[in-house]
A and B are shown apart, each in its own frame.
Chain A
């Protein structure tokens, strides 16, 4: 009997140890894409792919709204319950987390994949010489246009500002609203702002975002006067038009010919019933020819928590995800540009392939999107000031003075 008990103990102990040894490390990825858009199936597939490729997978904790997600992540990061990986926004949107020491450094991984990523993208993830997180996908901002309408009125893609104005004028004369502009949802007000300033002078845009130039600078005011002129000529929809609810329908019905937005907007258009063949994208020509070839970029980061329960394993997954195969796999599921330049991107729609070819082939200067390029406390209030201007262009002086006050208040106390 004693022998039998001993044998049983050995068997049970061995089984427990075997169970422990076989238990795979499972990371947790927190993200805000559990509602619309819904990335749950894509992250699930990627977790399994990572497991097969490097022996470490991840499960996900999705949140349906950005606000709740941000609050949950910020609450979890300083604790031992921090997620291993989490989605976030680049540059100034991640700065406060980095300043608080809540994000793990990944300089070694960026160095390893140096030849695969452009310097501009690395810069958007760099703080005080150290690089944080990784970039899963990149999108560029341009002007989506209705090819049928352009063909109907014999219009071609404008390459100069004068040509662009001529296109708008022709459309207006034919009772087609040239462009969509919206104050709904708050944030879309920065779209035309960044286009106007960056196409006047890209360095002015960078300096403005980083607090080296005032909003009341005459060059900024000039950019606003061009914008004001476009509004006065009736080249935009009513500002109450919603980018998501109304945009695809107006575009499809030929009531609006152009929508300035990210290259990801193609998914919104096709999701709203616009045939893919009907839409194409171009980069807004420079208002000031000296501004040169400039394109706005939007990078989507995946960050590793400094207090990640499985830090080494998380870096292993990120290393694979940054590589050409992992990066292409996720981008393919989203139909977006892989951040890794060596990744296969042949899966992309023809319009997006041609758009990327223009950007890389013509050596465009890549600028960060205003949402990430300027500190969040400034941006969140600035979008309301832009709305004031859109609704009442004559308020430009008050708006610029208010913007200066908002920026000055921030820069006076912030660590640059």
Chain B
């Protein structure tokens, strides 16, 4: 006997009718077709072309010249790309430490607090601003002579007046800070969703057994947040590998390419220097990294335990 409220089973006769089944399948494919065609035309074909051109030397106007894996080999020996790779790793690591961990901490402290909605809004508002606008705001905030931050330091009588956007590697960390300011809200919301779905029973049992709030968090809440943590970390990693807009607005990857990431290098090589093949090779490497991480993310997302939450 089916459980009360469970969806009624389809009549067996419907499933067993081969003509109906075939028609159903055909209709399904027809519905999928427009989206599938768009993905093929706008994503799969250009990606395949991009991979193809990564094996050529091409300036975009003359005939491409096949040069095998030279573009990939050049990436290994190019000091600018090595610097970009290092910066990309710094972005990924600190994006995990700051916006993800920060989002978790804010969510834990804000959850159940008096004025929770107010604090949630305060941390969420930056997310509604575009990356470009965020970059412009923080460029003004971090200016050496007219910037707000150095103005505050001067008011407090602190003699430090850093050049946040031209000192290396301070410029990369300054931009990660601006990024954190914007991204904290989305991670906080994700963790708040996770915290909201944790059953009360194990927490209460833990507290009754004499555990401190910290112990409760470490041994009960945090493990139960694992699926959401996976999503947040994976998304943070994918986004930090792709980071472009905020860097392009704040430093254009400069000075002397010191704050470039792979995405910025790819753009500069392709659209400023018109090294189309080399730019394509950088984007292939970047895409492989992002696709591998995204695949892990999608796999995790489709697991039953995550769906439960």
Contacts and interface: CB of A to CB of B under 8 A. Distances in A.
Contacts of A74: 60-61, 274
B140 interface: yes
Given A71-B271, A97-B61, A384 B145 contact: no
Interface residues of B, number: 26
A210 B257 CA distance: 25
A384 B166 contact: no
A186 to B, nearest CB: 5
B267 interface: yes
B144 A238 contact: yes
A77 B61 contact: yes
Nearest to A97: B61
B139 A242 contact: yes
A388 interface: yes
A245 B139 contact: yes
B145 A250 contact: yes
Contacts of B60: 71, 74-75
Interface string B132-151: 00000001100111100000
Given A186-B254, A387-B256, A388-B256, A246 B271 contact: no
Contact of B165 (A97, A184, A250, A390): A184
A283 B56 CA distance: 46
B31 to A, nearest CB: 34
A240 B255 CA distance: 9
Consensus secondary structure, chain B interface: loop
Interface residues of A, number: 36
Contacts of A77: 61
A225 interface: no
B257 A384 contact: yes
B273 to A, nearest CB: 6
Given A184-B165, A238-B163, A250-B145, A385 B256 contact: yes
Interface of A: 67-68, 70-71, 74-75, 77-78, 96-97, 100, 102, 183-186, 237-242, 245-246, 249-250, 255, 376-377, 380, 384-385, 387-388, 390-391
Given A185-B252, A240-B164, 12 more contacts: A67-B267, A68-B271, A70-B271, A70-B274, A96-B61, A240-B166, A241-B143, A376-B273, A380-B273, A387-B255, A391-B166, A391-B255
Give the 8 A-B CB pairs with smallest separation, nearest first. A387-B255, A384-B256, A240-B166, A67-B271, A240-B163, A183-B255, A238-B144, A240-B144
8 contacts: A74-B61, A74-B274, A96-B274, A183-B255, A242-B139, A249-B146, A250-B145, A387-B254
